[in-house]
Amino acid sequence: MTVYALVEFLHVLAAMGIFAAAALEWSTLGRLRRAESIEQARAAAAGTRASRAIGGLSMGVVFIAGMYLSGTAWGIRTPWVAVALASFILLGAIGGVVTGRRMTILGKQLAASHDALSAELRARLRDPFLIASFRIRIALLAGIVFQMVAKPQWTIALTSSGASIALGILASIPAWRAASTAVAAPGVLERPPPQTQPYTSTAARTGRHTS
């Protein structure tokens, strides 16, 4: 086995690790959104540590192996290589800045809380930014796979990359709508109860009429 073949094997294996981490993250986000107690939220949040560890290691291997493969066989200025690399860097930045920071804050708040889930914690568990970040990154991953398989020139490479980002943003719209509905719902529940007339017995009403 040549060095190139070994690095290519590690590249593909690490790419599988990225998708495995994404599946674990999606499962964790679903459990967080369904959590009804501190214990359930903490158990769900524990899954983020595994997904971040697997995803971080896999992305590091993919990046190093990808740079070696592209530098050996294609060259960094090859259109599909350059676009795939830019998409990969953007993917990592979104995951770290958007998801990473929010999950870190959520983990600290869950560790410090000992009561029932507060309104702030419930909002963080259902943070639409987490869903948006995930769906945009999945769309970017799909775009990167397309670049690697099709190996297009600049026009198609840039167009497909832009389309993948747009698709991820569009796929995030339902999460924003659900968050808006959740914010508006408490206002409905807080309406004052309807005024009821005090109960008056039949005998009292009869006596009032006869008098």
**CA 110 vs CA 41, 104, 106, 118, 120: distances in Å:** 7, 10, 6, 10, 11
Predicted pLDDT at 171: 95
Rounded Cα distance, 1 and 7, in Å: 10
Q: How many CB atoms lie within 10 A of CB 142?
A: 14
Residue 135's nearest CA partner among 164, 106, 113, 158 is 164
Alpha helices in the chain (DSSP H): 3-34, 38-69, 79-94, 101-112, 119-125, 128-150, 154-189, 202-210
Measured over the CA atoms of residue 179, residue 184, residue 190 and residue 194, the dihedral's sign is negative
pLDDT (0 to 100) of residue 195? 47
DSSP 72: I
User: With a cut of 50, which residues of the chain have pLDDT below it?
Assistant: 186-196, 199, 203-205, 209-211
Nearby residues of 164 by Cβ (< 8 Å), 6 or more positions away: 87, 139, 140, 142, 143, 146
Q: What rounded mean pLDDT belongs to the chain?
A: 87
Per-residue pLDDT of 102-112, as tens digits, reads: 999 999 999 99
Please report the pLDDT score of residue 115 as a whole number.
81
